[in-house]
A and B are shown apart, each in its own frame.
Chain A
Amino acid sequence: MGIGRVSLPWKVLTYAILISYAAFSLVPLLWVLTTALKSPAEAQQVPPTLVPSSLHLENFRLAFTSPAFGGRPFANSLIYAFGTVALTLIIASLSGFAFSRYRFWGHRAISLALILGNLMPGVAKLVPIYLMYSAYGLYDTRLGLVLLFTLAVIPLGTWMMKGYFDRIPRELEECALIDGCTPLGALARVTIPLAAPGLAALAVIAFMDAWNAFTFPLILTERQALKPYTVAVYSFVGEYGEVQWHLVSAVAVTSVLPLLALFVFFQRTLVAGLTRGAIKS
């Protein structure tokens, strides 16, 4: 489609579609953002104003001091996200290294099992996981959640890391071995530092996955003090009754901020990791 002369109407049409879809992508976010920045009185006005008459941060203060929401859920989500990142990086770089460097017995079957396991809908595990966690004391614990979040990223993480390791020449490790390193020492001192971009991409994906997780924490946490922001905002909105959209908007905006920061800084690695990870599997 890149060759040949392009007619002006086609160019105009192309840009019109691209810009309209960009507006479609942005408008719901702006709607929530403007509501979060309205004064509480203006935010509850019917019919609503499209643009806030003046900028306020009171909704954020109200949401974070409200006993129904507070600051705790975001702290919990951060703990889960960092725990998941740490565990995923260790486990996936070890397994990715094994698949990249060794042709061991059953490596094809195991890799296939990893991929297929990842394709099975996670929701279908709800009941057995709930009963298993209740029986073994993992119900309503932080560790139980982090383990599940980590499991969700391990297959993709293994493939991503295998891809990055494949591009690092084996000779570098062999040199380290000749110089007296153990295989694991060579992995830690030579290969891992060279695979740093892969680790960064995986860390971003693991963080986002754990930060946004909802279903398992919904059924596996009971104590208010352990609920991540996703579950807290769900119970805050409640099943029925009037929704306090100005407070929900403030919470929504806060939840998007870390994602926006990661997205801006790591977009390139994220896009590369996604494309490669998807094609590998």
Chain B
Amino acid sequence: MGPDERAEAAPAGRPFAGAAHRRRRALRTRALPFLLILPAITMVVVLQLYPTLVGVWYAFHDVHLARLHQTPFVGLRNFMSVFTGPFPNLLNPVIAVTGIWVIGSVIFQVGVGLGLALLLQQRWVKGRDLFRSLYLFPWVISGIVVGYSWRFVFDPTVGLLNTLLVTFGMTPRPWLVTGPLAMGALLIAATWRSAGYSLVLQMGGLQSIPDEVYEAAAIDGVSGIRLLTRIILPLIKPFILVNLITTTVEALNAFDIVLALTRGGPLFRTEIVSLYMYHQGFQWGFLGKAAAVSVIVYLVSTAIILAYVRFLHEEEAF
């Protein structure tokens, strides 16, 4: 750009070259923002948009790992088969398992994060930064390491939890071996990892409330639960909604933490949709069926996000 620009600057001194030069310069200024976003847009189109569309195409074709060059059109057969095919399928038990996982993750992570943020934000609390660091740190650890660390905590023979239970004279339990306990263990591990992120977000929300609001509330004699539900929560609603969206997306996207902690077991009782898709596509080779599951995941997550956004806008209208 440098020498080129200098060559152009030279004729600017001559009176008659001015108009053409200005026009070229205006064109360049108008093109510049597009050039700046070109790398980002190219990556999004090639690695996000295009694969998504191609995925929809695959969902209607019989694609198998073993014969990638032969992909006949099969209409809705992939969709039928992921819903009603042999166990495990979406109706039994993947949708129910995914629902419990997503709703549980959202309630625990946002709830714990918000609760801790409210406690931590009180003015007289000392060591606020230290608490926040301790709560946030698990969030930066990889899902696979989080999953294995918790599997090691829950391990029936050499795990920390049963060792502690025995030390305190209680009965050890078969964690991760029965369905409800395995899902509970997953939710504990996920909350352990991500509640700190919610906490940071909600503390940002609480800090956005000006002091005058509290002073006015104190003058009007509003305190305790009423202060929380009538004043604080409505004011930080945008922060809570953003947190709900990010947590929902994260839960739908979760894969490594579940694969490391329970591998979808026992007997598919923690087989969330991402694991089901992976098993269908890459363990058993039915890439077409996995693509059909992706299409459903796209539709559901779009619906959830639109619902949240609609809700946010309606609330703002009041």
What interface size band does chain B fall in? 35 or more
- How long is the Cα–Cα vector from A87 to B125 in the complex, in angstroms? 42
Residues of B within 8 A of A57 (CB): none
Query: A158 on the interface (CB 8 Å rule)?
Result: yes
Q: Which of B5, B43, B157, B301 contacts A119 (CB 8 A)?
A: B301
Q: Which of B33, B116, B277 contacts A124 (CB 8 A)?
A: B277
Query: A67 on the interface (CB 8 Å rule)?
Result: no
Instruction: Name the interface residues of B30-54: CB closer than 8 Å to any CB of A.
Output: 30, 32-34, 36-37, 39-41, 43-44, 47-52, 54
Q: Which of B41, B192, B245, B293 contacts A24 (CB 8 A)?
A: B192
- How long is the Cα–Cα vector from A104 to B122 in the complex, in angstroms? 45
Smallest distance from the beta carbon of A206 to chain B beta carbons, Å? 13
Residue-wise interface mask of B (149-178) relative to A, using a CB-CB cutoff of 8 A (1 in contact, 0 not): 111110101101001101100000000000
- How long is the Cα–Cα vector from A3 to B32 in the complex, in angstroms? 52
Query: B298 on the interface (CB 8 Å rule)?
Result: yes
Residues of B within 8 A of A233 (CB): 144-145, 148
Is chain B's interface secondary structure helix, strand, loop, or mixed overall? Answer: helix
Chain A residue nearest to B30 (CB atoms) is: A104
Q: Which of A128, A158, A219, A260 contacts B51 (CB 8 A)?
A: A128
- With known contacts A1-B232, A91-B39, A126-B294, A249–B122 Cβ distance under 8 A: no
- How long is the Cα–Cα vector from A35 to B163 in the complex, in angstroms? 14
Query: A271 on the interface (CB 8 Å rule)?
Result: yes
Chain A residue nearest to B53 (CB atoms) is: A128
A121 close to B44 (CB less than 8 A): no
- How long is the Cα–Cα vector from A113 to B29 in the complex, in angstroms? 24
Chain B residue nearest to A50 (CB atoms) is: B163
Smallest distance from the beta carbon of A154 to chain B beta carbons, Å? 5
- With known contacts A4-B218, A237-B148, A124–B297 Cβ distance under 8 A: yes
Query: A196 on the interface (CB 8 Å rule)?
Result: no
Query: A176 on the interface (CB 8 Å rule)?
Result: no
Query: B138 on the interface (CB 8 Å rule)?
Result: yes
- How long is the Cα–Cα vector from A27 to B136 in the complex, in angstroms? 14
Chain A residue nearest to B216 (CB atoms) is: A3
B54 close to A32 (CB less than 8 A): no
Q: Which of A114, A158, A252 contacts B149 (CB 8 A)?
A: A252
A28 close to B301 (CB less than 8 A): no
Query: A127 on the interface (CB 8 Å rule)?
Result: yes
Q: Which of A24, A95, A123, A132 contacts B37 (CB 8 A)?
A: A95
Q: Which of A94, A123, A150, A279 contacts B204 (CB 8 A)?
A: A279
Query: B2 on the interface (CB 8 Å rule)?
Result: yes
Count A-side interface residues using an 8 Å CB cutoff. 99
B48 close to A126 (CB less than 8 A): no
Interface centre among A1, A28, A35 (most CB of B within 10 A): A1
- How long is the Cα–Cα vector from A31 to B305 in the complex, in angstroms? 38
Smallest distance from the beta carbon of A191 to chain B beta carbons, Å? 12
Query: B268 on the interface (CB 8 Å rule)?
Result: no
Smallest distance from the beta carbon of A228 to chain B beta carbons, Å? 10
Instruction: Name the interface residues of A231-281: CB closer than 8 Å to any CB of B.
Output: 233-234, 237, 239, 243, 245, 248-249, 252, 255-256, 259-260, 262-263, 267, 271, 274-275, 278-279, 281
Query: A90 on the interface (CB 8 Å rule)?
Result: yes
- With known contacts A48-B158, A234-B259, A271–B136 Cβ distance under 8 A: yes
- With known contacts A31-B153, A245-B158, A275-B200, A1–B122 Cβ distance under 8 A: yes
Contacts A28-B192, A47-B166 supplied; 18 other A-B pairs, CB < 8 Å: A14-B122, A14-B125, A18-B116, A21-B112, A94-B40, A102-B32, A104-B34, A117-B44, A120-B48, A126-B278, A127-B291, A131-B58, A154-B40, A182-B1, A183-B29, A212-B140, A243-B152, A281-B242
**Residues of B in contact with A (beta carbons under 8 Å apart):** 1-2, 5, 9, 29-30, 32-34, 36-37, 39-41, 43-44, 47-52, 54-55, 58, 63, 68, 112, 116, 118-125, 131-138, 140-145, 148-153, 155, 157-158, 160, 163-164, 166-167, 192, 196-197, 200-201, 204, 211, 214-215, 217-218, 223, 227-228, 232, 238-239, 242-243, 245-246, 249, 252-253, 255-256, 259-260, 263, 274, 277-278, 281-282, 287, 290-291, 293-294, 297-298, 301-302, 305
List 5 A-B pairs, minimum CB-CB distance, nearest first.
A212-B142, A98-B36, A128-B51, A102-B33, A2-B123
**Residues of A in contact with B (beta carbons under 8 Å apart):** 1-4, 6, 11, 14-15, 17-18, 21-22, 24-29, 31-32, 35, 46-48, 50, 90-92, 94-95, 97-99, 101-102, 104, 107, 110, 113-114, 116-117, 119-132, 134, 147-148, 150-151, 154-155, 158, 180, 182-185, 208, 211-215, 219, 230, 233-234, 237, 239, 243, 245, 248-249, 252, 255-256, 259-260, 262-263, 267, 271, 274-275, 278-279, 281
